[in-house]
Chains A and B, each alone.
Chain A
Amino acid sequence: MRNLASSASSAAIEAEVTSAGSSAVSLPPEAWRELLALSQDESADRALLERLLDHWRFAHGAAFAAVYLEREGRLELEVASPAAGFAGARWLPGMNGGEAPPPALEAAAASAAALEGSDLGVLTFPGGCLLVSPRQPAAENPATAANPATAVNPEHPEHPENPEDAAGAPGIDHGPLPLLLLSSLKILRLRQEIKDQQFQVNYRVVELESLYDVGLAVAATLDLEKLSEEILLRAVSLLDARRGALYILEGSRYRLQRTFGGDAAPWYDSGGAEGEEIPETPEGRKLRAFLAGESPAPPSELLPGARYLLGVPIDIDGSPRGLLAVGDKESRRGVGPFPASDRRTLGLFANQAAIALENARLHLQALEKERLEREMQLAADIQRRILPRGAPEVPGYELVGWNRPARQIGGDYYDLFQRQDGRVDLVVGDVSGKGMPAALMVSTLHSALHLLLDQVGVGPALLEMLNRHVFESSTSNKFITLLLAELEPASGRLTYLNAGHNPALLLRHGAEAPPDVAVAGAAPASDAVKVEELGASGLPIGVLSGSRFQSRGITLEPGDLLCIYSDGITEAESPDDEEFGTARLLALLREHRRRPLAELLEAIQTATGSFSAGLPQGDDQTLVLLRRRLA
C-alpha cells in the first residue's frame, strides 16, 4: 500500500488509482492535494477519514456511507457521510470473527432509517465494517440529476462527474480508495489505541496518587468522618462504581458510616456476639463468603438496588473493624460486575480505612489518657494543698512531716497544725486502696476532720462521728486507718487515738531497753533505748458503723522521739520480695535519734530507697517525727 505521507506526486497517485480498474475512482489533482495535506497532519486523521469516505460515497453515487468500529463487543459509528443528517444507529450489534453477521446488517438496516429497506453494500475488515447504500439512479442522485456528464456536486465540487456505472447495482468498490480509507482508519485506530493505553497508564497513576494522598490524609488528620468520606469517594471514583458504602463494626453489628450514590442499610447484623469475629451464623457465612470474593451475592441489602457488589473487610491484624463495599461498575454501555483486579484496589483502600480507624481509636485513647492525667494532676495539686506545707514551729519541740505517694495521687494523709491555744494536732491516716478513689477519701477525711476538730476536739467522740460519716459515704470495702494525737507542748502530754493504724514508735531518751524489747524483731543495740508503741485503740474508720474508740495518753519527756508512719515505709519491698520491716525502721530511729529530724528523715528515705533498689514504690509513704528538745 502506498504511503500517503510519501513525496509521491498527486498525479502519480491519480494515475495509479485510475488504472486500478473500471470501478476505480478518479480524483482530480486538487482533491489528491487536499488528501495529501490532511495525511501529513497528525491532528487531521479524522478529517482525512471523513474526506475519503465522502469521495468513496460519491464515487458510488450513494446516498450514505458509514464506518463502524468494534468497541466493547459492539460496532460503534466512527464516521458517516454525509456527516450531518446521517440517521443510522450509533451502535450496532457486535461482529463475529471480523465478519459482520447477517443479523448485524439487518440490525443496521432496521436501526438506520436512511438505510431501511436498502440493499446495503458491506466491506468488513478486522475490527469494523464499511457500509454503503446502493448506487442511486442518476435521476435520484442529487449530484448528477441535472446533467450526469457535467454536474458538479455541491458538496464536492472537485468531482466533475459521477461514475459511469450508476445503475444502482449493489456492491462495493474494492479499488484503491477503500484501501486508502482502510489505511486511514487503521492509523486512526492505532492512534486511538495509543490514546486508550495512555489513558489507562495515566489513570493508573491517578490510582497510585490517590492511595498516596489518602495515606497522607490518614497521617495528617484524625477526623474519622472526613477520612471515611475521602476513602469512600476515592474508592467509588477509581473503581468506576456508581455506589459505595463504608461500615464500621460496633459491637456485633456493622454501622453505616458513609454511603454514596444512594441509600444503604443503616445497620448490618452478622448475628455474632459483641467482640466476636464474623460468626458461624447463616448471615455470618454469607458475609464471610462475600468479603472473600467467593460469593457475588451480598449478605443482605447493603446497597439496595445495586446489581453488582464488591466488598472487602476492613480489618486490623485479622480482627474485623468494618467493611467497604462498592456497587455497579460503570462503562459506556451501562453497569456490570467488577473484575477481580478491582478487589485488590478496594482492599488497598480498606487498608487505609483500617489505619484511619486504628489511628482514631488510639487517638481517642490517648485523649482519654491525657484527660485522666490532667484530672490526676489536678487531684494531685489539690492533695498537695491538703497536706501541710511545713510543720508548725512549736517551742521546745522539733517536728517534721513527709509524704510521698506511690502514684500521682495517694491514699495517705497527714496533717500538723497548731491551735490558737498552743496545742498541736498530729494526724496520719491511710486510706485503703490507691489512686483517685483513695484520694477522694483523703479529701473527705481532711474536710470532716477539720470540721470536727473545731467542734468536738480530739477524743473518742470525734472518731466516732468521723467513723459514721465515712461509713455512710463510702463503699463497703473502703476504710481508713488513722492515728490522731494532740500535744500540750508545755507539759509534754500527748493524747492519742489509734483507729487501726500502725503503732507509732516512741523512743524514750536515756532509758535502757528492757530484756523483752517491745518491738518484735528489733535487734538488740549497744545504745538500746526503750521503745514504746502507741497501738490501736479501735477499728479502722469506716469498717463498722458503731465502732468505739478510746483515747490514751503519754507524756513526752525531753529527748523523747515519736515516729508516726504509714505502712508504705515498713512494707517497702526489695527485689527479693523482702519487706523493709519495722525492725529496720526502728534501727534507723535508734541510730539517728540524736540527729536533727530533717537528717533522720533523709536517712529513712535513703534507706527505704536503697532497700527497694529502684523498684517502683508500692505504696504511699508518710512519716511524722516529733522530738521534745532536751532542756
Chain B
Amino acid sequence: MKAGTSMTESLNLTVDRRDGLAVIYTEGYINNQGGEEIARAAYKLLDEGFKVLLLNLAGTKIVNSIGISILIEIIEKMIEINGKLGFCCLTPTIDKTFHIMGLAQYAPIFDTEERALAELGELGELGGHRG
C-alpha cells in the first residue's frame, strides 16, 4: 500500500475445485459483505457436493467481527453436514484472532496450502466426495 493510496474494501474470490475438495482464495476485507461472499461460495460448493473446503486467506490482511461471525456460521454448517473446513496462509494477526475467537477449535489452520491440501485432501478422498 502506497502512502495516501487506498486499499480496496471489496473482497475478490477465486474458487479452485479439486479432486475431493475445493479451495476458496480470498483477496480483501472479510467484513459483512466479504463474509457473505464467502458464505455464498461455500454453500454453493456444498450444493455441488463438496464437503471439504479450504479457505486460503493469503490475500486478506483484515477481518472484522461480522466477517468472523459469518465464518463461524460456515464452520457450524460444515459440522452439521459432517464436512470439514480448513484455513491456510493466515497473517499472524488473523491467525491470532481466529485462535482467540475459537475458530481454530473447529477448523484446522495450516501454515501453507500444501500442508492443508495434504491433510484435508485425505479427508476428501476418504469421504468419497466429488470434485
| A is bound by B | yes
Q: Contact string, A180-215, partner B, CB cutoff 8 A, digits 1/0?
A: 000000000000000000110011011001100100
Given A233-B61, A261-B29, A199:B69 Cβ within 8 A:
yes
Contact A257 B9 (CB under 8 A): no
B3 in the interface (beta carbon within 8 A): yes
Given A202-B102, A240-B66, A242-B31, A258:B1 Cβ within 8 A:
yes
Given A237-B64, A330-B64, A225:B100 Cβ within 8 A:
no
Cβ of B107 to closest chain A Cβ, rounded Å: 15
Given A202-B101, A202-B102, A206-B97, A242:B9 Cβ within 8 A:
yes
Query: Contacts of A264 on B, CB cut-off 8 Å?
Result: 6
A101 in the interface (beta carbon within 8 A): no
A259 in the interface (beta carbon within 8 A): yes
Q: Contact string, B87-127, partner A, CB cutoff 8 A, digits 1/0?
A: 00000010011001110000000000000000000000000
Residues of A within 8 A of B (CB-CB), count: 37
Given A240-B66, A331-B66, A206:B101 Cβ within 8 A:
yes
A238 in the interface (beta carbon within 8 A): yes
Contact B64 A238 (CB under 8 A): yes
Query: Contacts of B100 on A, CB cut-off 8 Å?
Result: 202, 205-206, 209
The docked-state distance in angstroms from the alpha carbon of A46 to that of B62 is 32
Which of chain A's residues 547-587 have a Cβ closer than 8 Å to chain B?
none
Cβ of B9 to closest chain A Cβ, rounded Å: 4
Given A236-B62, A240-B66, A243-B9, A331:B32 Cβ within 8 A:
yes
Contact A330 B32 (CB under 8 A): yes
Closest chain A residue, CB of each to CB of B96: A209
Query: Contacts of B61 on A, CB cut-off 8 Å?
Result: 233
Query: Contacts of B7 on A, CB cut-off 8 Å?
Result: 259-261
The docked-state distance in angstroms from the alpha carbon of A331 to that of B93 is 22
Contact B101 A203 (CB under 8 A): yes
B14 in the interface (beta carbon within 8 A): no
The docked-state distance in angstroms from the alpha carbon of A185 to that of B7 is 43
Query: Contacts of B8 on A, CB cut-off 8 Å?
Result: 261
The docked-state distance in angstroms from the alpha carbon of A111 to that of B97 is 38
A98 in the interface (beta carbon within 8 A): no
Contact A237 B63 (CB under 8 A): yes
Query: Contacts of B4 on A, CB cut-off 8 Å?
Result: 255-259, 266
A332 in the interface (beta carbon within 8 A): yes
A106 in the interface (beta carbon within 8 A): no
The docked-state distance in angstroms from the alpha carbon of A136 to that of B66 is 41
Contact A257 B3 (CB under 8 A): yes
Query: Contacts of A199 on B, CB cut-off 8 Å?
Result: 65, 69, 72, 101
Contact A261 B9 (CB under 8 A): yes
Closest chain B residue, CB of each to CB of A333: B32
A546 in the interface (beta carbon within 8 A): no
A464 in the interface (beta carbon within 8 A): no
A275 in the interface (beta carbon within 8 A): no
Given A202-B100, A206-B101, A242-B31, A259:B6 Cβ within 8 A:
yes
Cβ of A165 to closest chain B Cβ, rounded Å: 35
Which of chain B's residues 40-78 have a Cβ closer than 8 Å to chain A?
61-66, 68-69, 72
A262 in the interface (beta carbon within 8 A): yes
Q: Contact string, A40-53, partner B, CB cutoff 8 A, digits 1/0?
A: 00010010000000
A213-B93, A233-B93, A234-B93 provided; 14 other pairs, C-beta below 8 A? A202-B101, A203-B65, A205-B100, A206-B97, A233-B61, A236-B64, A237-B62, A238-B64, A242-B29, A255-B4, A259-B4, A260-B9, A261-B7, A266-B4
9 A-B pairs whose Cβ atoms sit less than 8 Å apart in the complex = A199-B101, A225-B3, A233-B61, A233-B62, A240-B31, A257-B3, A259-B6, A262-B9, A331-B32
Using a CB–CB cutoff of 8 Å, the interface residues on chain B facing chain A are: 1, 3-9, 29, 31-32, 61-66, 68-69, 72, 79-80, 93, 96-97, 100-102
Closest 8 CB pairs of A and B: A261-B9, A259-B6, A237-B64, A240-B64, A256-B4, A330-B32, A237-B62, A202-B101
